[in-house]
Amino acid sequence: MYSEKVMDHFSNPRNMGEIEEASGVGTVGNAKCGDIMRMYLDIDENGVIQDCKFKTFGCGAAIATSSMATELVKGKTVEQALAVTNKAVMEALDGLPPVKVHCSLLAEEAIHAALWDYAQKNHIEIEGLQKPKSDIHEGEEEPEEEY
């Protein structure tokens, strides 16, 4: 049911933990399953993500997608990190079962929430970034929806 990559990132998650005095922190939750994900970003003065860590209180797919999402945004600029959609995370994991697509949306939303926090703290605007919703329970019904 799960790809080898999903199993790998679930059993051996990368970048789990927290960053003290992070440049941006985002916490999101899914009302339906009750899972919660928090992302920490360390962003340098050039807008490059030097480090990214996560804490996820959630299902295995949520842990695997958090782990992969942190790997994908590391070393990217904030603008490039915005392009790390849930689809990109799922592709990098060789797919997720349809009922688990909403878990990957949580990862995308957590990155956006952390970027939003960073932008707020620095009084900047990141083009294309919208104020994140804290609750993204629509994912299951509309897996194609773009956030």
Residue numbers at the binding site for ligand FES (CB under 6 A):
30, 33, 35, 58-59, 61-62, 100, 103, 106
What whole-number distance in Å separates Cα of residue 31 and Cα of residue 88?
Answer: 23
Query: Which is closer to ligand FES, CB of 35 or CB of 117?
Result: 35
Which residue's CB is nearer to ligand FES, number 62 or number 73? 62
Q: How far is the CB of 84 from ligand FES (least distance, A)?
A: 17
The yes-or-no answer on residue 59 being catalytic is no
Read off φ and ψ for residue 142, nearest 5 degrees. -125, 70
Compare residues 62 and 89 and give the one whose CB is closer to ligand FES. Answer: 62
Report residue 72 as tokens.
């994908």
26 forms beta bridges with 39
Nearest distance from C-beta of residue 99 to ligand FES, angstroms? 8
Contact 26, 115 (CB under 8 A): yes
Residue 103 bears catalytic tag: yes
Q: Which helix (H) or strand (E) holds 89?
A: helix 86-92
Active-site residue list: 33, 103
